[in-house]
Structure 1
């Protein structure tokens, strides 16, 4: 069975919109609860993270 690996890339900068990490898109709370989350919840969050990262990159590129 495939395991859901953490989306963390060791950036850990929570200055994104709504406190999202600039590296993975998660909030601090989502990072802390990741290991205890059920696979369905991790998959749901992974889909949300993709959208968050697009938003973070868009906002970041507008600042430059």
Structure 2
């Protein structure tokens, strides 16, 4: 599921809702500010879970 799990995202966002201080939350969980900003935006859009990426190469020949 990538570097960060869903439960970490939920804990970070809960801490942000409690403190309303991005710098404090980023230091506490040792994450980048841009990561927190992304997670806040994703939560607002209702897509907190990461998108699933397909592995492999797409085939371009359509015979």
- TM-score calculated relative to the size of structure 2: 0.32
Q: Which has the larger radius of gyration?
A: 2
- TM-score calculated relative to the size of structure 1: 0.31
Q: Taking CA–CA contacts closer than 8 Å with sequence separation of 6 or more, which of the two structures ends up with the larger relative contact order?
A: 2
